A = this chain, B = another copy of it.
Amino acid sequence: MSGAVFDHPWLSGLFGDADMAELLSGPRQMTHMLTFEAAWSRACGAAGIFDPELAEQAAEAIARAQIDFDDIKAGMAADGVPIPRLVKQLKALAPPEAVHKGATSQDVVDTALVMTLREGSLLIGGQLMALETHLKALEAKFGDAPLMGRTRMQAATEITVRDRLLSWRLPIKDHLVTLDQKRADVEKLQIGGASGDRKALGDKADQVMAEMAKALNLAPNDKAWHAMRHGIAGYASFLSLVTGSLGKIGQDIALMSQQGIETISISGGGRSSAMPHKQNPVAAELLVTLAKFNAAQVSAMHQAVVHEKERSGTAWSLEWMVLPQMLMATARALKTANTLVQNITWIGDKQA
């Protein structure tokens, strides 16, 4: 255990999100990789690249394979990717001539990633919709209440609670639209083979692509995106924009919670070890922290778009370090925002 907050024995209580962690867990990623390999065997069987019967045998064996993670871990340091060892394990369980041939590590790892992103997108989409609903409910309850508008933190002119809440809710609505665009940008099959040209598939490339698309429900495409990473980085940008908008909500709430301002009341809230009476806006602050975190990470994802030639070991593995964390931070922020918004018991200026 490396001290990473999402999995930490106690810090995960603040930063962790069990649902997204499940989607990003090793076993689930492995399931996606096995799903790819099984579908691959079948698709190559259907296309006549593999013997169809052996292909079916392989697919079935792959589907029920028990993978030795420690062996794969041992291979990571040497190979930089998990697939050589995984394939070796699979070939011991299934007809080797009907396993993986024609595919490459990046096909498996990226397609599995895309399957993870699809699941993550559903989680995020659901949370965004819930947040929109909770914000509407808040508006219905307190929208008409007067509230001193604050520009540059200074009292400006009186607005209504609705005015501020709209600046919380409308971005969520926009993010739901963007999510659909981004899903279309990333939910694409990754099939290229050794140097990304599908040459190993010969004239069966289109058929294999079609079979795989059907099996995995991912968009087929004319060219592997091994070295074209703007889609992934664009997805990461979306995540950071979501946490940015939630950070704005958190920042507002933390400011509104200050004694002397006190234009919001929240049930729950944090204790202090030195001052047991004190109530800290922990959830609101967490939204700001997660926004700042993702805003730093997004830079790494953009650096990784410079992906040299047919495959960059450096840029690709930088994505592995960063993107899962951005998903975790986004999921945690959304869940925190949903709870926080529901815990608001009053919003508006104190009555005179």
Contact with B along A131-173 (1 / 0, CB 8 A): 0000000000000000001111111111110011011001100
**Contacting residue for A281 out of B20, B154, B269, B293, CB 8 A:** B154
Q: Are A2 and B4 in contact (CB-based, < 8 A)?
A: yes
Q: Are A282 and B79 in contact (CB-based, < 8 A)?
A: yes
Tell yes or no: A324 within 8 A of B by CB: yes
Alpha-carbon distance between A275 and B150 when the two chains are bound, in angstroms: 12
Q: Are A6 and B2 in contact (CB-based, < 8 A)?
A: yes
Q: Are B197 and A257 in contact (CB-based, < 8 A)?
A: no
| Interface residue ranges of A282-322 to B (CB < 8 Å) | 282-283, 285-286, 288-289, 291-300, 302-315, 317-318, 320-322
**Contacting residue for A75 out of B6, B13, B78, B278, CB 8 A:** B13
Alpha-carbon distance between A75 and B197 when the two chains are bound, in angstroms: 40
Give the bracket for the number of chain A residues in contact with chain B: 35 or more
With known contacts A100-B273, A105-B272, A153-B308, A227–B248 Cβ distance under 8 A: yes
Tell yes or no: A26 within 8 A of B by CB: yes
Which B residues are CB-close (under 8 A) to A295?
299, 302-303, 305
With known contacts A289-B317, A306-B292, A10–B72 Cβ distance under 8 A: yes
Which B residues are CB-close (under 8 A) to A262?
260
> Chain B: which residue is nearest A236 at the CB level?
B237
- Offer 8 A-B interface pairs, CB within 8 angstroms, sorted by A: A9-B26, A9-B27, A13-B77, A79-B271, A80-B270, A157-B199, A163-B223, A251-B307
